[in-house]
Amino acid sequence: MILYYGGGLNPPPTHLSLCADEAFAGGFAKLHESPLWKVTLRLRPSDILDVTDCGFDAAGVAIELRATGIQASDPEPAQAQFPPAVIRTIPENGIQHAGYRAIQLRD
């Protein structure tokens, strides 16, 4: 699986929001004045927690994450339709402690 990251690495982030769309990630790279990173991941389907069925319902994503043992905060009202805001609240190593290596969120 090839994904892209368009953000800075200084200071090192605890989470990377990767994207399959190179142009979309390139826009973030330009916004952050950083390079576009190409990342190759080797993941089994069981490594990925897919929360796509929640759509843009950030509260639904938080509920789904907590149901699998991942600590996540409820979204602020202004972020009710922005699930990445919930994913960013996951403590470092929270995904791995729940038995996953990645969270998949698609629109």
Q: Where are the chain's structural domains? A: 2-40, 46-104
Kindly give, in sequence order, each residue whose CB lies less than 8 Å from that of residue 73, ignoring residues fewer than 6 positions away.
62, 86, 89
Higher per-residue confidence, 82 vs 106: 82
What is the average pLDDT value for the chain, to the nearest integer? 89
Q: Can you give the pTM of this predicted structure?
A: 0.75
> 92 is written with which tokens?
């470092």
Output the pLDDT for position 100.
Answer: 94
50 pLDDT tier (thresholds 50, 70, 90): very high
